[in-house]
Amino acid sequence: MNGASILAPDIRFERVARRFGAVEALAPLDLTIAGGSFVALVGGSGSGKSTLLRCINRLDESAGATREGRVSIGGEPVDHLPAPELRRRIGYVFQSIGLFPHLTVAQNVGIGRRVRGGVMPPEEVAVLLDSVGLERALASRMPLELSGGQRQRVGVARALAESPQILLLDEPFGALDPVTRAALGERVRALHTARGLTTLMVTHDMAEALLLADRVVVLDQGRIVADAPPVDLASGRTGEIAEALVAVPREQARRIADLARR
């Protein structure tokens, strides 16, 4: 672990459960994400992985759902702050990106500052665009003028603009082409390390999880069925469901390697 991780807080779930009416989206579960670590939450659709992530910045607080148990960041329960205050301290990137279509790239990146009553200077926007590999000239463009990959880079820049200590990623690269996806994944992993963040990434792509995360947690029907470092998962020591998830990329990698050998 690098030095910055001492500063980044941990995220702790204690007996957290969530219901929509009679439907149990999450069974009561305990999970601790160590400060400074990069953890991937993997599972099929409906496994509860996004719900678990959204408990942290309280985006799950929609009508008709109830949350039980305690979610805390660095020992501080998330309910102790008003939701807007809490969310300003957490970076959030999600699959549909959600750039504001009526604002320029610079205004999108600077929205966190505006929310706090300030204005982000152009130099700061430029540095942020550099950090996600975007040309500075794009600052004055509108989101609709950008490619999908460029948009998600703006999304990452926006999430990191106010130097949060926690970064939440919800299928962040799901809509991108494989090349962009790999490049942006590496970029985010590098930013995680450089900034000493606590990062939690939800993905259904086991290969992505194995390659980027320090630790992979597998969810199935609201329950944790595996929790191990990538190296353990890759060698198949973690049970049936996790093994099934790992088998697909392993098989693909083997066949591609076979092709190359012919």
Minimum Å distance from CB 116 to another protein? 8
Kindly tell me which residue out of 114, 237, 254, 255 binds another protein, with binding defined by CB under 8 A: 114
Minimum Å distance from CB 193 to another protein? 23
CB 252 within 8 A of CB 78: no
- Give burial (CB, 10 Å; 0-12/13-18/19+) of 93: buried
Structure tokens at 213: 């995360």
Within 50-69, the residues that bind another protein by CB under 8 A are 57, 59
- The stretch among 79-87, 180-188, 194-202, 239-247 that binds another protein (CB under 8 A) is 79-87
Name the residue among 56, 52, 122 with its Cα closest to residue 92: 56
Kindly tell me which residue out of 97, 160, 201, 224 binds another protein, with binding defined by CB under 8 A: 97
Alpha helices in the chain (DSSP H): 49-56, 83-88, 105-109, 111-115, 122-131, 148-160, 178-195, 206-212, 230-234, 240-261
Residue 101 binds another protein, judged by CB under 8 A? yes
- The stretch among 8-16, 86-94, 189-197, 246-254 that binds another protein (CB under 8 A) is 86-94
Structure tokens at 196: 């000493």
Type of residue at 51: T
Question: Of the two residues 173 and 246, which places its CB atom closer to another protein in the complex?
Answer: 173
Plot region of 249 (φ>0 → left; ψ -120 to 50 → alpha; else → beta): alpha
In the stretch 151-190, what mask flags binding to another protein with x, by CB under 8 A? -------x--------------------------------
Rounded Cα distance, 81 and 111, in Å: 20
Which residues, in sequence order, are CB contacts of 99 under 8 Å at separation 6+?
A: 108, 143, 151, 154, 155, 158
Please, what sign has the CA dihedral across residues 41, 47, 51, 56? negative
Kindly tell me which residue out of 29, 52, 99, 200 binds another protein, with binding defined by CB under 8 A: 99
Residue 102 binds another protein, judged by CB under 8 A? yes
Minimum Å distance from CB 61 to another protein? 9
Residue 197 binds another protein, judged by CB under 8 A? no
Residue 86 binds another protein, judged by CB under 8 A? yes
Kindly tell me which residue out of 22, 64, 85, 260 binds another protein, with binding defined by CB under 8 A: 85
Residue 126 binds another protein, judged by CB under 8 A? no
Residue 92 binds another protein, judged by CB under 8 A? yes
Residue 98 binds another protein, judged by CB under 8 A? yes
Q: Given the rule CB under 8 A, which residues bind another protein?
A: 57, 59, 83-89, 92, 94, 96-102, 111-112, 114-115, 158
